[in-house]
Amino acid sequence: MLRSSLRQVSAALKEGRVTPTELCQRCLALIKSTKFLNAYITVTEETALKQAEESEKRRKRGQPLGILDGIPIAVKDNFNTAGIETTCASNMLKGYISPYNATVVQKLLDQGAVLLGKTNLDEFAMGSGSTDGVFGPVRNPWSYSKQYKEKSVPKSHSEDEEYNWVITGGSSGGSAAAVSSFTCFAALGSDTGGSTRNPAAHCGVVGLKPTYGLISRHGLIPLVNSMDVPGILTRCVDDAAVLLGSLAGHDPKDSTTIQDDFKPFELPDLPDVSKLSIGIPKEYHAPGLSSEILSLWSKAADLFKNAGAKVVEVSLPHTRYSIVCYHVLCTAEVASNMARFDGLEYGHRSDVKDSTESMYAATRREGFNDVVRGRILSGNYFLLKQNYEKYFVKAQKVRRLIANDFGKVFGSGVDILLTPTTLSDAVPYTEFIQEDNRTRSAQDDILTQAANMAGLPAINVPTALSERGLPVGLQFIGRSFQEKQLLTVAKWFEKQVQFPVIQLEEAERHDNGVFQHQKSASFS
């Protein structure tokens, strides 16, 4: 039961095969036994059970609030949740209890979803490993899967699991791990440069970054306001469509959301891709791309070709400037957004009180980690009057060029772009931390970030297991606000590749339900 999809479990709730409370309890139990993953910062057991109880009453009355009523979900800990700690995995906000719900959280609760807890991340979502939060790194559930253990551990010199566990990717690693380890049916992440798609790829789940402006950011603690989008992590593409339908639409509290009504959609059971043109951007054949992934990418292109789709190589020439451009824009906005954390109104306040200025300085030194402080420092440098034109304005222009690249490609008749999501499968933690956050982020965001620059919708679809038995995903990038087309293609692809289910001892132990979609054939 825990391993079924959201739509399947919703059907089970509807038919009374399981009650919301039972479901909630099982998820909570699994969260406990997978505590070592460190996926959750806060588990809201009490309120979750209360919400489940309410849902049960509604379901008994035959008046459920919709498909999400009674579905356990998790939310990345950079979304505000009223009455529940919202930390951003930072000392700065440790113990901070927000007085309001983010719009997306409110929407989920209004539709009866059961909030299990807040998931781990890199501090203030700055990172690509989910290793740089104050609550410690998130462990990739696949590190403990039968698949990984069988393929990877014997090759290792060490028998020690401690040494071999791999990262989730980030920064929404907690959410990806939570969905991947079956502790919830869907989770919210955020995506600024790939923070939803990257961990989705490493954890073998679907990760959707919708078009900028389609989902409200109100209540999402910002990283880069002009690129941040709430992300959706689910087990399958259909579930992502369900979540999108329940979250999208104009929010009067976020002036950057579009005014047009959003019509929730269902995806066709038998998608047809034969009339589509799939673009393969050559620049995504980036340095460091593993041969494994390259070959999967090319096989995927063949699948489309064989299905009658037109597959064309396209060029997005400014992609290579994306990283440096992102660095300037991101750090500048970070410097600005982080200015509010001064210890006065909320959050951490240092005991140093020699002067207002020394209190500010000590508060921010104690509250932020090196990564955050480093970005603030760079950002303030770029925002200095004498540097503004040289860096910030120039980066904005480059951003426009990057966006224009996409415009040209889509204008030439290409419907969807197919790219890798990551350069390789997940690396062990011990290896990951050899490099600093900045280097890692620059490497890992390379394939995902341009979509944020252009505000385009993009999705990671788990594709296959690597030689080491770890998930690898491919990314589809669509036209602005063409989520339906994007998800339709993703669903077709998902059906083709038959990505294997993670074999996780803990989950199997907790789940005595019918194993709904066991797959034997795998795509590799």
Partner 1 sequence: MAAVLAMVARGCGGVWRRLRQRCAVRPGSGPFPRGERAVACNARGGMMSAGKSGLTPWIPVVGLEIHAQISSNSKLFSGSQVQFAAPPNSLVSFFDASLPGTLPVLNRRCVEAAVMTGLALNCHINKKSLFDRKHYFYADLPAGYQITQQRVPIAVNGSLSYSLCIDNKMSQMVTKTVRIKQIQLEQDSGKSLHDDARSQTLVDLNRAGVGLMELVMEPDMCCGEEAAAAVRELQLILQTLGSSQAVMAEGQLRVDANVSVHHPGEPYGVRTEVKNINSIRFLAKAVDYEIQRQIEELGNGGTISNETRAFDSKLGFMPEPNLPPLILYDAKSLPANMNHQQVINIDWIRERLPDLPSVKREKLVEQYGILPEHSFTLLVWQQDQNCNSRHSNEDGLPEFFENVVKQTQMKPKKVIGWILNDLLSYLKQHSLTVKESPVSSFLLADLLNLLEKKEISSTAAKQVLAELWKGKGKTPLETVKEQKLELLQDQKELEQICQAVIDGQENEVMAIKAGNQKVLNKLIGLVQKKTQGRSNPVLVKQLLEKKLSE
Closest CA to 229 of 208, 243, 245: 208
Closest CA to 40 of 139, 110, 169: 139
Which one among 53, 54, 342, 511 touches partner 1, defined by CB under 8 A? 342
Q: Does 193 sit near partner 1 (CB under 8 A)? A: no
Closest separation in Å from C-beta 340 to partner 1: 4
Cite the active site residues.
Answer: 76, 171, 195
Q: Does 332 sit near partner 1 (CB under 8 A)? A: yes
Stretch that binds partner 1, among 5-13, 158-166, 335-343, 417-425 (CB under 8 A): 335-343
Q: Does 53 sit near partner 1 (CB under 8 A)? A: no
Quick check: 122 and 433 in contact, CB under 8 A? Answer: no
Q: How do 277-281 and 206-209 pair as beta strands?
A: unpaired
Coil, helix or strand at residue 320: helix
Q: Does 389 sit near partner 1 (CB under 8 A)? A: no
Q: Does 76 sit near partner 1 (CB under 8 A)? A: no
Stretch that binds partner 1, among 238-246, 252-260, 285-293, 481-489 (CB under 8 A): 252-260
The one-letter code for the residue type at 303 is L
Which one among 156, 158, 225, 298 touches partner 1, defined by CB under 8 A? 225
Closest separation in Å from C-beta 252 to partner 1: 7
Which one among 36, 163, 265, 388 touches partner 1, defined by CB under 8 A? 388
Following DSSP, what letter does each residue of 397-463 receive, concatenated? HHHHHHHHHHHHHHHTT--EEEEESSSSSPPBHHHHTTS-HHHHHHHHTTTTHHHHHHT--EEEEEE
Q: Name the residue nearer to partner 1 (CB basis): 100 or 321.
A: 100
Q: Name the residue nearer to partner 1 (CB basis): 353 or 517.
A: 353
What are the distances in angstroms from CA 57 to CA 1, 54, 62, 328, 329? 21, 5, 8, 51, 49
Task: Name the CA dihedral angle for 197, 199, 201, 204, rounded to a multiple of 10 degrees.
Answer: -130
Count of all residues that appear for the chain in the document: 524
Q: Maximum distance among all alpha carbons in the chain?
A: 72
Q: Does 220 sit near partner 1 (CB under 8 A)? A: yes
Number of residues this chain uses to bind partner 1 (CB under 8 A): 48
Q: Does 91 sit near partner 1 (CB under 8 A)? A: no
Please, which residues have CB within 8 angstroms of residue 33's CB and are 6 or more apart in sequence? 506, 509, 510
Q: Does 395 sit near partner 1 (CB under 8 A)? A: no
Positions in the binding site for partner 1 (CB under 8 A): 79-80, 86, 88, 93, 98-100, 102, 217-222, 224-226, 252-256, 259, 332-333, 336, 338-342, 344-346, 353-357, 359-360, 380, 383-385, 388, 392
